[in-house]
Structure formats: C-alpha cells, structure tokens
Amino acid sequence: MGKPTGFMEYERVDVEYRPVGERVCDYSDFTMPVDRETITRQSARCMDCGVSFCHAGIVVEGNPIGCPLGNLIPEINDLVYNGDIEGAYDRMSRTHPFPEFTSRVCPALCEGSCTLGEHELPVTIKNIERYVIDYMIENGRIRPKVPLVRTGRKVAVVGSGPSGLACADMLNHLGNDVTVFERADRPGGLLMYGIPNMKLEKSVVADRIRMMAEENVKFVLGAEVGLDMPVIRLMNEFDAIVLCCGATNERRLDVKGSDLKGVHTAIQFLSASTRRILGLATRDENQIDARGRSVVVVGGGDTGADCVGTSIRQKAASVVQLEIMPASPENRAGSNPWPLWPRVLRTEYGQYESLEIFGEDPRRYLTTVKEIKGEKGRVSSVVTVNVEWVRENGMLTPKPIEGTEKELPADMVVTAMGFTGPERALIDQFQIEVDARGNVAANDVNYKSSLLTVFAAGDMRRGPSLVVWAIYEGRHAAIECDRYLSEEKNEKIASLI
C-alpha cells in the first residue's frame, strides 16, 4: 500500500450528516460532501493485510463475508491514496457497473470483513467508493461506451431494478441487443420507487439510465409482461429472456383492523412520497401523507427506518417504530466473530432525527401488533403486546406475553415487515418451476429456469436481499445467458457443416 503505516496514524472519519433541523425540511441527500484530503487519509488506512476479506464475496452458513461483487478494494484504496482517482474508477468499473447506487444504499458488507476492523474501526470503503464515482461524474469523466461489435442476438430483460439494470448493462456490452420491459412509468424498480430520495436521489438513477439508453439499451415503460406484452410474443421475438422482477410481495399484517383506511405497506408509502416529489402522484397517492398524524411503523429493518425518516419529513405529529426482535448488542457477540458481517446495534438517519425532534428513539423492541382499532373506518389506535422468543420444534417463535398490552394513538400505520417473494402471476404465465420458497427455480451456476431460453436473477431467484447482491446476480445471469446463446449459435453452425 502507498502508506503502510497509515492505519496506525489516522483514525476513521465517517461522512457527516447535514444538521437535522435543516435536512428534515427537504428530501435532498442528507450527507455532507467529503473533501479530497480526508478521503486520501482514509484510503491510507487500508493496511496491506496480505489476505484481504473485504472483497471475498462469499456466504458461510448464511453469513456474508466481503463484497459480493468482488471489488478490488485494496487496489482501489491504493490508487486513491496516490491521487489516481481515474485509475481507481477504472479498477472499480471492472467489477461494478453502478457504484453510485451502492455507495449510497449498501450496508457495506466489505467494511464488515475489513481486516483492520478485527481490532479497530474498519476502513471507510463505502465513502471512498462514493468519492471516486462522484468525482468522475462531476468532472464529466464518465461517458457512454457503445459496443463496437454486435452479435445480432436479441434479449429481453423483464424488470428494471438493480438486477435488471445490471443484467441489461452486461448483456449490452457483450454485444447483444437488449430491451428492458418495466411496468412502472419510470425505470429503476426499487431504486426509483422503493428507496427515498434523501437516501438515493432520483436524478442519480435517471442519469445512469440515460447513459444506458445512449449505449443503445432500449427501455419500454408502462409495459407489464403477461398483460400489456403477452408472454408468447416475448418468447417469439427474443432469443432469450431474463426475469429480474424482484421479490415484490410485501409481508402483510394479519391482525384485526389491518384493512382499515390509513394502513399502508411500506412500498405504497415510500412510492407515493417519491411520486409526489417528482410531481407524478395520483389523487389516491396524494392521500398517503403523514402530515399531522401519529404514525406507527411496523418493522425494524432498513425499510422501516426509511419510513420513519419519510414520516418526519412529511411533518408527522409522532412516530413509533415496532420491532419484534430484541435489540442487537453494541459489540460483536462471541457467535458472530470477524470476518462475518457484524450483527450489532445500528441507529439509522431517521432514528437520529426522531431522537432530536421528538426526544426519543422511535424503536420499541420485542413488540408486535395485536390489533388495530378504528373509528368510522379509519385507524385510530394500535394495540401492541410484548413478545418473548421461545424454541418450539427446534425453531424460535415469538410468543405474546399476557398482560403487556398497550394502546398507542395512531391515525396512520405503515407495515415494513419485509417481502415474501416474487409475484406469481408472471411465473405462472411462463409455467416455470419454483423452489420451496416460491422463487424461480434457477441455480447460481447458469441461472437457467426450467424453460430453455428463460433465465432468472436477483430477488426473484434468491429471495429478498440487498441491492449489491441483485447487481451481482444480474451481471452473472447476463454472462450465462450470453454464453448459452453463443454455444447455441456455434451448435447451429456446426450442424450446417
């Protein structure tokens, strides 16, 4: 590394957030820019560890280790330290098509497996990545790269979320003619309508899609395959199809009163907010508004935290976030050693905002909803109950604790309880096989479904996961799709000889 002793000389410096009183008044990026000198010192902390785990990209017994994309992180850090930002971007782009996305929304699996992080705070890999990509964009150093050679093969990509975009990008650069079908009015999937603007500004997504279009990727919007575009037509017009539709079935709250007016899923809430910012909201979407309301968010994950932050920006009167799991420990438990992803307590931006505005952390651990009460068809309160986790038939199960019921005032409830898998309508139309969890049955070797020319990638194949895993899957499914089409072409040529 450029400075072998850097990790002993410099402490970790995290990105700073804009003041709470300022950032909750808009939907702009809540982070502050990092200067070149700080980034140079932070990259100097990369310690020439010999066998680095930050880019391992493996899963051990369900625990991720390092970046799934296999980013060449030590090399990138060394180039940044030595002032070669363009060289760092070149290394980055060899494995990663969209660092502007992950540097904003990824939980940084790489940092969880940083060797320095075994005893000290890890290298700020995510912040370094963002500095590199933002520098390149702001200085006009990233330009469209139109493939010079075309194969003549046509591939349809269904879905334009992170896996679909990554798949289309790779297929295009391999010389295929790619058409992306998206049922929404804008491309991007959850990047556009599932992640709030202050976390991932939509201009960032739109700029990347614009560049892909300039590189000859075709986007067909408002086209739901199986409805607007018949499956049989798709199969007749394209040499192969890659399904990247995500795991969009949201887990529903199955309690009395869950059908009351004012109860919304996280995607309904976040999507309506984004569409309102973009000036696209329908009359019904404009009604999904937390202004002046007592909001209860059900779910303690990242999406739940996004719902808290969005509620605060919409000027909610109060926000409570219910989490059925216990609070994570502040430090690694003995059962969670390095280099596994550290399962420790994290406080997200929206929770910090709640602390400052309402004077308390919005999270209520080991708590679930027992009933939603209403008046005149609209939610008026939420009855909660504490739970304890007990082992039954070898599995941990949450059990309500009698006598712990509480009634919280609420005139809006947002369920952020995760996703159960992909929607079945399209899968059934293709008549392809699914696995035990309802995902498209396609292995991670060739990503083929039970239909010869249909592939699957991302959450639709692996189940609900992270943006970085979706990008990984999209790229690799594209490579396997291209390989299959190349082999098929060679076989046809051979049969004619």
**Separation of alpha carbons 344 and 361, rounded Å:** 17
Task: Give a yes or no: residue 470 inside a domain.
Answer: yes
Burial call 235-248: b when 16+ CB within 10 Å, e when fewer? beebbbbbbbbbbb
Task: Give a yes or no: residue 355 inside a domain.
Answer: yes
Q: Is 258 in the same domain as 394? A: yes
Domain-ending residue, one of 111, 138, 165: 138
- Write the pLDDT tens digit of every residue in 314-339: 999 999 999 999 999 999 999 999 99
- Angle at which helices 349-358 and 302-313 cross, to 10°: 40
Range of the domain at 212: 154-249+420-496
Task: Give a yes or no: residue 1 inside a domain.
Answer: no
Provide DSSP, 160-193. -SHHHHHHHHHHHHTT-EEEEEESSSSS-THHHH
Q: What is the CATH number of the domain that holds 42?
A: 1.10.1060.10
Q: Is 178 in the same domain as 311? A: no
Q: Is 182 in the same domain as 267? A: no
According to DSSP, the β-strands at 218-221 and 63-65 are unpaired
How many other CB atoms are found less than 10 A from the CB of residue 7?
A: 21
Task: Give a yes or no: residue 174 inside a domain.
Answer: yes
Q: Are 421 and 438 in contact (CB under 8 A)?
A: yes
Q: Is 289 in the same domain as 387? A: yes
Q: Residue count of the chain, please give it.
A: 497
Domain-ending residue, one of 373, 391, 417: 417
Q: DSSP code of 464?
A: S
Q: Is 218 in the same domain as 340? A: no
Q: What percent of the chain has pLDDT over 90?
A: 94
Q: Is 276 in the same domain as 331? A: yes
Pairwise pLDDT comparison (60 vs 203), residue with the higher score: 203
For residue 123 the two structure tokens come to 């290298």
Largest Cα separation within the chain, whole Å, is 81
**Separation of alpha carbons 313 and 31, rounded Å:** 15
CA dihedral of residues 18, 19, 24, 28 (deg, nearest 10): -20
Task: Give a yes or no: residue 390 inside a domain.
Answer: yes
Domain-ending residue, one of 388, 417, 446: 417
Q: Is 405 in the same domain as 455? A: no
Which helix (H) or strand (E) is 220 found in, with range?
strand 218-221
Please tell me the predicted confidence (pLDDT) of residue 62. 84
Q: What is the CATH number of the domain that holds 216?
A: 3.50.50.60
**Separation of alpha carbons 182 and 272, rounded Å:** 18
Q: Are 477 and 171 in contact (CB under 8 A)?
A: no
pLDDT exceeds 70 at position 4: yes
Q: Is 305 in the same domain as 387? A: yes
Q: Is 357 in the same domain as 213? A: no
| Separation of first and last alpha carbons in the chain | 55
Task: Give a yes or no: residue 459 inside a domain.
Answer: yes
Q: Is 267 in the same domain as 362? A: yes
- Stretch 224-249: mean pLDDT, rounded? 96
Task: Give a yes or no: residue 86 inside a domain.
Answer: yes
Q: Is 28 in the same domain as 84? A: yes
Q: Is 261 in the same domain as 409? A: yes
For residue 169 the two structure tokens come to 């990008």
Q: Which residue has the tokens 């995510």?
A: 126
Task: Give a yes or no: residue 48 inside a domain.
Answer: yes
- Cα 165 from chain centroid (whole Å): 13
- Write the pLDDT tens digit of every residue in 384-428: 999 999 998 889 999 999 999 999 999 999 999 999 999 999 999
- Stretch 117-144: mean pLDDT, rounded? 97
- Stretch 164-190: mean pLDDT, rounded? 98
Please tell me the predicted confidence (pLDDT) of residue 493. 57
**Separation of alpha carbons 319 and 69, rounded Å:** 36
Q: Where are the beta strands (DSSP E) in 57-176?
A: 58-60, 63-65, 154-158
Lowest mean pLDDT among 2-6, 115-119, 213-217, 364-368: 2-6
Question: Per the structure, how many domains does the chain have?
Answer: 3
- Stretch 446-464: mean pLDDT, rounded? 97
